[in-house]
Amino acid sequence: MTIQLKRKQLHLAYSVILLIRLCLLPSPWLYQCPHPPTFCSQSELNSFLWTIKRDPPSYFFGTIHVPYTRVWDFIPENSKKAFQQSHIVYFELDLTDPYTISALTSCQLLPQGENLQDVLPRDIYRRLKRHLEYVKLMMPSWMTPDQRGKGLYADYLFNAIAGNWERKRPVWVMLMVNSLTEVDIKSRGVPVLDLYLAQEAERLRKQTGAVEKVEEQCHPLNGLNFSQVIFALNQTLLQQESLRAGSLQIPYTTEDLIKHYNCGDLNSIIFNHDTSQVPNFINATLPPHERVTAQEIDDYFRQELIYKRNERMGKRVKDLLEEYPDKSFFFAFGAGIQR
Ligand SMILES: *[C@@H]1O[C@H](CO)[C@@H](O)[C@H](O)[C@H]1NC(C)=O
Ligand SMILES: *[C@@H]1O[C@H](CO)[C@@H](O)[C@H](O)[C@H]1NC(C)=O
Ligand SMILES: *[C@@H]1O[C@H](CO)[C@@H](O)[C@H](O)[C@H]1NC(C)=O
Tens digits of per-residue pLDDT, 95-127?
778 898 899 889 999 999 999 999 999 999 999
Q: What is the mean pLDDT of residues 325-335?
A: 88
Average per-residue pLDDT for the chain: 80
pLDDT band at 30 (very low <50, low <70, confident <90, very high): very low
pLDDT digits (tens, 9 = 90+) for 224-262: 899 999 999 999 899 899 888 887 766 556 677 777 778
In DSSP terms, 59 is beta-bridged to: 51, 330
Q: Is residue 161 part of a domain?
A: yes
Judge whether 329 lies within some domain: yes
For the CA of 226, the closest atom of ligand 1 is 13
Count structural domains, the chain: 1
Q: Which one of 178, 236, 281, 293 would you pick to mutate in the ligand 3 pocket, going by the greatest count of ligand atoms within 8 A of its CB?
A: 281
If one residue of 119, 222, 227 were mutated to test the ligand 1 pocket, choosing by the most ligand atoms within 8 A of its CB, it would be 227
Residue 35 included in any domain: no
How is the beta sheet containing 49-52 ordered, strand by strand?
2-3, 49-52, 58-62, 329-333, 88-91, 207-210
With 0-12 / 13-18 / 19 or more C-beta atoms within 10 angstroms meaning exposed / middle / buried, residue 312 is middle
Q: Is the CB of 251 under 6 A from ligand 3?
A: no
Q: Does a structural domain hold residue 13? A: no
Residue 43, in any domain of the structure = no
Range in 68-77, 98-107, 108-117, 274-283 with the lowest mean pLDDT: 274-283
Q: Which atom of ligand 3 is nearest to the CA of 281?
A: 14
Would strands 88-91 and 207-210 be described as parallel, antiparallel, or unpaired?
parallel
Residue 238 CA to ligand 2 centre (angstroms): 9
State if residue 181 touches ligand 3 by the CB under 6 angstroms criterion. Answer: no
pLDDT given at position 32: 37
- Nearest ligand 2 atom to alpha carbon 237: 1
> Is residue 234 in contact with ligand 2, taking CB distance under 6 Å?
yes
Please give the average per-residue pLDDT across 125-132, as a whole number: 98
CA gap 318, 63 in Å, rounded? 20
Is the model's pLDDT at 29 over the cut of 80?
no
For residue 112, what are the domain limits?
48-334
Give the pLDDT of residue 17. Answer: 57
Lowest mean pLDDT among 40-54, 142-156, 157-171, 201-215: 40-54
Cβ of 242 closer than 6 Å to ligand 3, yes or no, is yes
- pTM score above 0.85: no
To which H or E segment does residue 209 belong?
Answer: strand 207-210
User: For ligand 2, is residue 237 a contact (CB within 6 Å)?
Assistant: no
Instruction: Tell me if 20 is assigned to some domain.
Output: no
Does residue 24 lie in a domain region?
no
In angstroms, rounded to a whole number, what is the distance separating the alpha carbons of residues 196 and 115?
A: 35
Beta strands at 58-62 and 49-52: parallel, antiparallel or unpaired: antiparallel
**pLDDT of res. 1:** 45
Residue type, 74: F
Residue 121 Cβ inside 6 Å of ligand 2? The answer reads: yes
In a domain, 37, yes or no: no
* CA nearest ligand 3 atom 14, residue: 281
Instruction: Dump pLDDT digits (tens) for 188-232.
Output: 888 989 899 999 999 999 999 999 988 888 888 898 899 999 999
Who wins on pLDDT, 192 or 84? 84
